[in-house]
Structure 1
Amino acid sequence: MTRGNQREKDRERAQARKPQGKGKDDGLTPEQRRERDAKALQEKQAKKAEQAAGGGNSGKSGNKK
């Protein structure tokens, strides 16, 4: 039961489907990556806290009567 070059073709198709923009090849050291991610997380948390403090009525509450 041979598959010929089907495996190779499948690998090529899978490689073509992978997003090329993301990955660990961003030129950052692990420490720089941690700092970047921590800053992004803090900004996200601050934005969420701001929405909660400012009313944050974005229609997500299930308290409609």
Structure 2
Amino acid sequence: MKANDVHGDVVPDDEMLEMLKQTLAHLLINYEFRLSENKKKMTLQYTTMVIPTYGVKIQLRKLA
């Protein structure tokens, strides 16, 4: 990681960005995504991940 930028945010280096790209590509190819609806009953087929900064819940399921 590089030093903080003028706003105090950590700036990732090229190696970290490449790793993030590979991780995102793997998730997009191998998983189905949908936004979680709080009122809807959850099924066991989906795993829920939370993005704390935005308070968003995303459900993902491994594709066959």
Q: How high is the TM-score relative to the length of structure 2?
A: 0.35
Structure showing greater Rg? 1
- TM-score relative to the length of structure 1: 0.34
Higher strand content, 1 or 2: 2
Bigger RCO of structures 1 and 2 (CA < 8 A, at least 6 apart): 2
The structure whose residues are more often helix, as a share, is: 1
